[in-house]
Amino acid sequence: MPVFAWKGESEQDFWWCIDQCVSSESWQPNMILDDGGDATHLLLKRYPAASNLIKGIVEESVTGVHRLYQLSKAGKLTVPAMNVNDSVTKTKFDNLYCPRETIVDALKRTTDVMLGGKQVLICGYGEVGKGCAAALKGVGAIVYVTEIDPICALQCCMDGFKVVTINDVIRQADILITATGNKDVVIREHMDRMKTGAIICNMGHSNTEIDVQSLRTPDLTWEKVRSQVDSIVWPDGKRISLLAEGRLVNLSCSAIPSFVVSITATTQALALIELFNAPSGRYKSDVYLLPKKMDEYVASLHLPTFDAHLTELTDEQAKYMGLQKTGPFKPQYYRY
């Protein structure tokens, strides 16, 4: 199976690699498994004839799902797409437990910083932000959080974290972590106000959250400290450490736990199989969530690892709850 990717590729290389995946003369892709929507975007834009032969798209990122919904709304989505990013077995496991395991590891590997007592600002309290906050609180850091969503903000307060705006604490933050899936969350104006020695990194999607380009100006000096660590020096001598040039710090600087990858990969595989085998008419050219039954199946496949044993409903209990004994056990809207 040909793989078009290598460590250290440039952005130009990145787009060349995607182009090679979809434009080969020796084969015709019939499914897309995408992260960020880039392959989908390129195929629809550059190879419209080939896109008509695609049977389905599976997307696993916030950014990519956002692009899919935009395409669907504009009537430009030509095939069914499965949003696995918002499936339970992606959001509640990969998005939460992977950051909880990796954020401290990434910070330690890159900077050797002591985290106890450090003031940490996390932008975003979705599943990724929750995982980061829990891990950093566990090692004694003082954690602040920014949030746009009142529900996430209320969860944050009830979990014992202070909800602030970035301007409230930017001057005293020792570590700043973005986890929003948005763009320009941290801009040059913010970084100009950070104290010397501060560390900034991204745990959200892609490299859009920190405006790194605004740091590439003649008045600032970049010094490579080690792999994935740059020290940015201001004219007055102030330094901040930027990790992985604003890309995902856990993917760049840590080891991703294979177990959570297994959960996500299983979710993606089942979504691909479902779209490929679906009879004509089951799915229109729209964006769908993974059926609840499949989410439960993904979870059940991973339970034997823990020697976990499920309780089985009696016939009377199943009838009382209005459920099948084999599931699904929760309605599609249930968010765990």
Are 101 and 226 within one domain?
yes
Measured between alpha carbons, how far is residue 29 from residues 53, 69, 161, 232 in Å? Answer: 8, 22, 47, 43
Among 190, 225, 253, give the residue marking a domain's end: 253
Q: Where are the beta strands (DSSP E) in the chain?
A: 31-34, 56-59, 81-83, 119-123, 142-146, 162-163, 175-178, 198-202, 221-226, 229-233, 239-243, 287-289
- Both 220 and 74 in one domain: the answer is no
pLDDT at 244: 96
Q: pTM value?
A: 0.88
Per-position b or e across 172-192, b if 16+ CB within 10 A of its CB: ebbbbbbbbbbeebbebebbe
Query: 272 and 57 in contact (C-beta within 8 Å)?
Result: no
Q: Positive or negative, the Cα torsion across 26, 30, 35, 37?
A: positive
Instruction: Write out pLDDT tens, residues 30-54.
Output: 999 999 899 999 998 898 888 888 9
Residue 61 domain boundaries: 11-86+259-290
Q: What is the pLDDT of residue 8?
A: 84
Number of helices (H), then strands (E), belonging to the chain: the values are: 14, 12
Reported confidence tier of residue 21, pLDDT bands at 50, 70, 90: confident
pLDDT at 334 over 90: no
200 within a domain of the structure (yes/no): yes
| Crossing angle between the packed helical segments 62-73 and 38-46, to the nearest 10 degrees | 30
pLDDT tens column, 54-81: 999 999 988 899 999 999 999 999 899 9
What does the block give as tokens for 162?
């202070």
Q: Specify whether 184 is located in the same domain as 273.
A: no
Same domain, 193 and 270: no
Span 249-267, average pLDDT: 93
Q: What pLDDT shows up at residue 107?
A: 97
Q: Are residues 78 and 138 in the same domain?
A: no
Total domains present in the chain: 2
Q: What is the pLDDT of residues 76-114, one digit of tens each?
A: 998 999 999 999 999 999 999 999 999 999 999 999 999
Q: Which two tokens stand for residue 107?
A: 């910070």
108 and 20 share a domain? no
Q: What is the CATH number of the domain that holds 123?
A: 3.40.50.720
| Per-residue pLDDT tens digits for 132-180 | 999 999 999 999 999 999 999 999 999 999 999 999 999 999 999 999 9
pLDDT of residue 79: 92
- Assess if residue 327 is contained within a domain: no
- 318 within domain boundaries: no
